[in-house]
Amino acid sequence: MQEQVQRLRDAALKRKVEFAEVRFASVRSSSLMLQDGRADRVGTAERAGMGVRVIWKGAWGFACTESVRYSDWRRCLDAALDMAKVSAAYAQEPVTLADAPAVVDEVHTEYAIDPAQVSLERKFAAVRGYEEASGCRAGDHIANLRTGYSDSHLREIVCNSRGACVSSDTVRTMVWHAITTQDGAVRQQALEKRARQCGFELVETTPALELSVKAAARARSLLWAKPAPAGSFPAVFHPSITGLLVHEAVGHNAEADAVLSGQSILAGRLGARIAAECITIVDDATVPGSWGSYRYDSEGVAGRRRVLVDHGVLTGFLHSLETAARMGVAPNGAARADGFMHRPLVRMSNTIIQPGEQSLEDLIRDIDLGILLRGGQWGYVWCDKGQYTCHAGEGVMIREGQLAEQVRDVAVSGLTLETLANVLGVSRDFELDMPGNCGKDGQSIPTNGGGPYVKVKEIVVGGQA
Amino acid sequence: MTQAGPEDLLAIADAACRAAMRAGADFADASVERGRSMSVAVEKNALKSSDTRGWASISVRAFSAGATGWASVSGTGLVAARGAGRKAAELARAAESDPGFVDLVHPAAYPDVAGLFDPRLVEVTAVEVAGWITGNIDGARGVVDDALVTGTARASWWEWALANNLGVAVTQPGTSATVNLQVVIRRGDDVGSYHEWDAARSLAQFAPGAVGPAAATEALRYLDSRRMKTGTLPVVFGPSAAAAFLQGVCAAASAEEVQRNRSFLVGKKEARIAAECLTLVDDPLIAGGLSSAVSDGDGFPHVRVPLVKEGVLQTYLHNHYTANKSGERNTGHSTRGGIACTNIIPSLGVRTASQIIAEVTDGVYVALAQPHPDTASGQMSALVDAGFRIKNGQLTYPLKNTMIAGLAPELLLGLDAISSDYRAEPGRVLPTLRLQGVRVASGEGA
């Protein structure tokens, strides 16, 4: 297939384009779900196709096809060129791309057990163990149990007209458990998942205690937890939700396409202090095995560790070849595409706040009334206003410097620059374990996030009490 | 990019089903889809890129003693279709039997639903699509000189065919046109922004030219936003926020969620779930409706479904499986893997949105938000993406960093007004709603 990719790239060059990038992607995935004790459904998907992007007279054109036939690819190249001609008729400034090494490489995920070689029976047996353990923990308050397993093998070949040609094979495995509990009219849910770039060994190294039992314990205890309060409170983010905070509040704003489009609250602040001195934020594509990691981005540029905020000072953004050229900096390998159907966008990888020196006890000692937030669920941000929200799995009230009662239904909101300036401390604890898929412009990309406990002077809690 | 026609797609779906049956499945269905879209993106008032996408895929479900196996593959080739059919049958045997499964949808006549396919959208050029959005840049800047416009215009065309081993054979071509825009206005550190959109199934119903000016006009109103005091207040949902809230409520009416005991609407069929002023109909038959179609994902003919009548839940949303399992009437809401509502039409009230707001002494107006209640707990907690403080019947100042929260069962009973005027989108009626007793959390302020 690599030969066919290079052949189309060469064909594009003969069409007098200034830049051509051909990206083939195929994904084979399998998934299964156990529900309330029964092997409920099993599925597979095999999708493959090619996307081609060209610059013609300084303007972008992109086309893709869900086909592996070269004749379809040739038509697709014609379409991409036609698109670029439309762009060129309207474009105001010609697109330029930053220089990057013309890497030729083949990389693949390291794994111990190839998921494709594991039988369905073995996969079902593994998830059944999780479900049984959950059932024991939640007892007679179970309303519904679901346990799922999935794996995928993504093969991506990117070749561009500058000589870069990278082939990558990425294997991802995920296991999850969702439980609904009930006490009278009250229902609560909890979800735990583990997801990494690895093989089936993920399941064999994830004990039920860290997955289904954990979810069951939370879903059960939430039944009797009080609703969260409403108002503005001092807050401490548990490491399991710090990743969501940094992803929504900072990460999206640090994507250079948002900065250049005037959408980001961080535009014009490079080199300025935007956060408390204890805050250092890194987006690191090189964390071994992490869900959000990659060796090369979808432009064939090596992923790397990128310091976005260094001791409170904004030091950089995430870049594609185009945004790097427009800002006059070196590209840093943050252009990622969701399969062959999309052009690369500037995206995060594993986004973290670096740990500090304090303990959790240090952070909560002087809080008379506050809230500890645990378990990042979902969130989003309006970059232009820097206004974000994060939904947590649970909360624990902090009273007179001590952790007190559990609360449920906890969502918070804040303003990026205020939150960053109001950080009062970070702990030495650290977790990078919030694998998920981040959406942007209709594309979904695997990312991860994490960090230490983070203490914020105040945050708005959208509770009911 | 693929040259198969709708009848060919049906033949491919049929071939996939036959392969699954030959491989030992008790039942099988297959859907085949191909399509193409063309989109033009604008960034900071300038055209950024033009894209065209082609897709083609086959998805097969096979059932063995009720256990489900599914397989999807790229392309619309017969070899791929048959391979997917065999694979789905093999996987179904690996799952465990489901006593709740009875059969698949049986053949029936399909309704005529007009206006879902516009041949002009198949032929539309990228230049025309570009015009939908570049015209809006000028429109926005006509309202505010320094408006920053970012967004996308898209034209899409697709064909979908579904067949099952009982003889169901349905095809559905579709088209759509959309413009989505974000306008940002900066005054020093102050930011006003707004998101607007237009969407239609045909060019005749598509009027994208007003999107940019509307977004710019709204963005201006959101400059100088402030916080407010935390309290329990009436909240008025504007058309977009109201639609998001009602869609979230309808998601809890999914029979799958109810049968699995994961919904706050368990046991609420034919019970009061909302104030008397709420009547909802789910209508997938509206000509040109954004969520209209002749059948659901199982191939069941679509019908108009009264969902809530004067506050009383009339039915859960069913697919063929859940309807058989509970012995209730199939409402035709399968998404082939899930259940979802289509075009939700609320009955209108007698006062205008302005009159409803004028009755609020102290409250909040929410224009944009994602106030979806959690399906299981009914808890709703949402950021006010764009909204205003209401004082003495007037929208006073825009809000920032403000959240709203409540329990859906209580919020629905606290619904005390639905406007007589509404935002009209193809197949959608989006009125304004007012809810009493909503917890509003913010920082400080008045």
- Enumerate domains of chain A plus CATH numbers: 2-222 (3.30.2290.10), 226-462 (no CATH)
Interchain contact B312–A (C-beta under 8 A): no
- Beta strand B190-200 pairing with B305-309: unpaired
Interchain contact B220–A (C-beta under 8 A): no
CB contacts of B376 in chain A (<8 Å) are 143, 180, 187-189
User: CB–CB of A384 and B2 under 8 A?
Assistant: no
What does the buried/exposed string (b/e) look like for A336-353 if buried means 16 or more CB atoms within 10 Å of the residue's CB? bbbbbbbbbbbbbbbbbb
Q: Name the 3-class secondary structure at A64.
A: strand
CB A154 within 8 A of CB A172: yes
Q: Cα separation of A217 and A224, whole Å?
A: 12
CB contacts of A187 in chain B (<8 Å) are 261-264, 376-378
Measure CA B202 to chain center. Answer: 18
CB B194 within 8 A of CB B219: yes
**Shortest alpha-carbon distance between residue B88 and chain A (Å):** 7
Nearest to A201 by CA among A312, A119, A118: A118
Please tell me the predicted confidence (pLDDT) of residue B5. Answer: 58
**Shortest alpha-carbon distance between residue A94 and chain B (Å):** 10
User: CB–CB of B95 and A41 under 8 A?
Assistant: yes
The DSSP element (H or E) to which A242 belongs, if any, is helix A239-246
CB contacts of B51 in chain A (<8 Å) are 61-64, 83, 343
Interchain contact A63–B (C-beta under 8 A): yes
- Locate A19 and state its tokens: 């830049």
The DSSP element (H or E) to which B436 belongs, if any, is strand B428-441
User: CB–CB of A409 and B379 under 8 A?
Assistant: yes
Those residues of chain B that have pLDDT short of 70 are 1-7, 445-446
Identify which of B95, B152, B264 has the shortest CB distance to residue A187: B264
Residue with tokens 């926020």: B241
CB B415 within 8 A of CB B435: yes
Indicate the DSSP class of residue A248.
I
Q: Which residues contact B372 (CB under 8 A, 6 or more apart)?
A: B244, B245, B247, B248, B251, B380, B382
Q: Cα separation of A71 and A237, whole Å?
A: 54
Q: Cα separation of A371 and A463, whole Å?
A: 11
Interchain contact B187–A (C-beta under 8 A): no
Please tell me the predicted confidence (pLDDT) of residue A137. Answer: 78
User: CB–CB of A63 and B40 under 8 A?
Assistant: no
Interchain contact B420–A (C-beta under 8 A): no
Interchain contact A88–B (C-beta under 8 A): no
What does the buried/exposed string (b/e) look like for B329-366 if buried means 16 or more CB atoms within 10 Å of the residue's CB? ebbbbbeeeebbbbbbbbeebebebebbbeebeebbbb
Please tell me the predicted confidence (pLDDT) of residue B1. Answer: 36
Distances (CA, A) of A11 to A140, B25, B29: 65, 46, 41
User: CB–CB of A66 and B182 under 8 A?
Assistant: no
- Beta strand A226-227 pairing with A186-196: unpaired
**Torsion from C-alpha of A226, A229, A235, A236, nearest 10 degrees:** 10
Please tell me the predicted confidence (pLDDT) of residue B202. Answer: 97
Backbone angles phi, psi at B100, to 5 degrees: -80, -15
pLDDT at A249 over 70: yes
CB contacts of B374 in chain A (<8 Å) are 189, 409
Q: Which residues pair with B67 in a beta bridge?
A: B64
User: CB–CB of B150 and A263 under 8 A?
Assistant: yes
CB contacts of A59 in chain B (<8 Å) are 47, 49-50
Q: Cα separation of A147 and A131, whole Å?
A: 6
User: CB–CB of B73 and A45 under 8 A?
Assistant: yes
**What is the SS3 string spanning A101-116?**
CCCEEEEECCCCCCHH
CB contacts of A120 in chain B (<8 Å) are 91, 94
Measured in residues, chain A has a length of: 465
Domains and CATH numbers, chain B: 6-221 (3.30.2290.10), 225-446 (no CATH)
pLDDT tens track for A268-322: 999 999 999 999 999 999 999 999 999 999 999 999 999 999 999 999 999 999 9
Please tell me the predicted confidence (pLDDT) of residue B445. Answer: 54
Interhelix angle A70-90/B126-143, rounded to 10 degrees, is 30
Tell me whether residue B207 is exposed, middle or buried, using C-beta atoms within 10 angstroms of its C-beta: 0 to 12, 13 to 18, 19 or more: exposed
User: CB–CB of B1 and A80 under 8 A?
Assistant: no
- Locate B358 and state its tokens: 């004028």
Backbone angles phi, psi at A98, to 5 degrees: -70, 155
Interchain contact A121–B (C-beta under 8 A): yes
Q: Cα separation of A120 and A143, whole Å?
A: 26
**A384, amino acid identity:** D
The DSSP element (H or E) to which B247 belongs, if any, is helix B239-252
Whole-prediction pTM value? 0.94
Give the model's confidence band at A134: pLDDT under 50 very low, under 70 low, under 90 confident, else very high. confident
Q: Name the 3-class secondary structure at B345.
A: strand
pLDDT at A195 over 50: yes
Distances (CA, A) of A102 to A21, A90, A106, A157: 12, 31, 13, 14
Please tell me the predicted confidence (pLDDT) of residue B7. Answer: 62
User: CB–CB of B376 and A121 under 8 A?
Assistant: no
**What is the SS3 string spanning B51-92?**
EEEEEEEEEEEEEECCEEEEEEEECCCHHHHHHHHHHHHHHH
Q: Cα separation of B351 and B334, whole Å?
A: 36
User: CB–CB of B405 and A464 under 8 A?
Assistant: yes
Residue with tokens 């229902």: A187
Interface of A with B in 279-318 (CB under 8 A): none
Please tell me the predicted confidence (pLDDT) of residue B10. Answer: 95
% of chain A at pLDDT higher than 70: 100
Interchain contact A188–B (C-beta under 8 A): yes
**Shortest alpha-carbon distance between residue B24 and chain A (Å):** 16
Identify which of A62, A388, A408 has the shortest CB distance to residue B51: A62
Tell me how many degrees the CA angle B70-B73-B77 measures, rounded to the nearest 5: 120
Question: Most A CBs within 10 Å: which of B86, B98, B264, B383, as the mutation test of the A interface?
Answer: B383
What's the Rg (C-alpha) of chain B? 24
CB B369 within 8 A of CB B335: no
CB A187 within 8 A of CB B376: yes
Please tell me the predicted confidence (pLDDT) of residue A197. Answer: 97
Interchain contact B169–A (C-beta under 8 A): no
Measure CA B275 to chain center. Answer: 24
Nearest to A270 by CA among A284, A280, A256, A283: A256
- Beta strand A38-56 pairing with B67-74: parallel
Q: Which residues contact A285 (CB under 8 A, 6 or more apart)?
A: A292, A293, A294, A297, A303, A304, A305, A306, A333, A334, A349, A350
Interface of B with A in 2-31 (CB under 8 A): 2
CB contacts of B191 in chain A (<8 Å) are 265, 384-385
Identify which of A40, A62, A83 has the shortest CB distance to residue B95: A40
Indicate the DSSP class of residue A251.
I
Q: Give me the total of CB pairs closer than 8 Å, taking one residue from chain A and one from chain B.
A: 262
Residue with tokens 């830049």: A19
Q: Cα separation of B29 and B299, whole Å?
A: 9
CB half-sphere exposure, B174, CA atoms < 13 A: 24
Q: In chain A, whose CA is at the least distance from the CA of B59?
A: A45
**Shortest alpha-carbon distance between residue B113 and chain A (Å):** 28
pLDDT tens track for A335-388: 999 999 999 999 999 999 999 999 999 999 999 999 999 988 899 999 999 999
